[in-house]
Structure 1
Amino acid sequence: MNRILTTSFSVALTALTLTGCATKTLINKDNKTYTRTTKVTLVEDNVVAFGRPAQAIANLPKDSIVIAGQKNSYILTQGGTQFVSLISKLNPKNIQITRDLNFYSEKNDGHFSGTLPLSYVKLREDLSKKDLEFFIENGAKECSTSSDQHMQAQRFCFDIKLAGVVYPVANNLSSLQALSKPYQVTIYTNKEEKYKSKYGMNPLEKLVLLPFAVAIDVVSLPFQAANKIFD
């Protein structure tokens, strides 16, 4: 009988010891410092209009395109010309943009980059050799869906690589030829932070405008296609 009690006491003591060790391990682990990478949204804005700078801006291409937002101006230094070419020369009724403008700013220094996916679908019988040449010149890929094929149509996808810099909101925003409804643009970055517990998250950062802190005037682009595409 005493042997049974002794054995039971030993088992209970062992279990208690193991439990204590596990708890101690958890406590020690919780006090450690870890590093994690989080996605931080720097700004969310609504596109009001597309245009060009009214005056030449130092260090920026002459053919820069301005995405005029309610909070900031997003000047495209790369990809803007191709974007205008596509939505100007293709029938806007056949263009589909299914994703908002989502840009990445690696250092939160006013620079951003991203890709705008755009597709163009047309009945096969209406496609011309000139159309196909235009698609090839602009790096389009054939991406027809089963639904397209069923309707005897063919779809071509463009991935327009965009890059640019952020300026303050346009001085003459209210006078620009506005889209029929706002289209969202977002800039985000990735941030590494050290933490000890899940409650140690840092607050979101804000978009840094410097050194582009001078507001500009914008001239609306002379095309109506954007209204139909972003409707």
Structure 2
Amino acid sequence: MGQVEHVIWGAVKTRLQFVIGGQFPGLLVVTDYEGESIDNISRRSHGRFSTPNLVRIAFKLFWTLETLHMRGFCHRDVHRRNVLLRRDHDGIVRLKIIDFGLSLPLEPAPFPEQNLTSWHASLQVCQNQAYTRFDDLTSAIFLEMWFVPLNPFGAQREEWLKRKPQFDQDPFAYFYDELEWIAGLYSEVSLQRTTGYSHTDLFDIFYKFNPGFDPTSPISYRVENVGLIID
């Protein structure tokens, strides 16, 4: 059995135990209170977040996924109920990912042992291709779109399979100027599927579209009736 201490974006320390057994490693997460799902928080926040907070959340989510990938694992189930936000004692809202039940080693790239088609899955995953780090990142981008809110894929499996190739052909057609950075992220991730992963090229997108904005700045929020509301 191997163990690693995995600290995600300064949140509460979590011990991830990678238990070697059977065909694939399992993942056991032991932690204290982790936070509230971004899905629940968005409902309280009228279903949308401001553009500055979308950028901040995307940056933190990409950074968190990169941390997991550096450990040699992919998540394979990034969606709005598996991403948590927590207001810590210092008043900073921090982000973390939960539910590693589908997580597998990145190498060799795992082929799906089950159908992973979903709204938040990449086109490649919906086509049953081998899973890569870029599929985690694409799911993170789709999560951001949900909180615009923007839904170019519809609500049913048949719609997802039809519309995701259309989105893949021209993602910029779906965003107005203030949100073109989301299309930029998608295009860069798509490019890196061929050229290979580049932290610099990917994270530069966060600065390119608004050079005067700091994507690492704290998420802005307010608290009403003990509930966290993201601006």
TM-score over 0.5 for the pair? no
- Give TM-score scaled by structure 2 length: 0.22
- Give TM-score scaled by structure 1 length: 0.22
More helix by share: 2
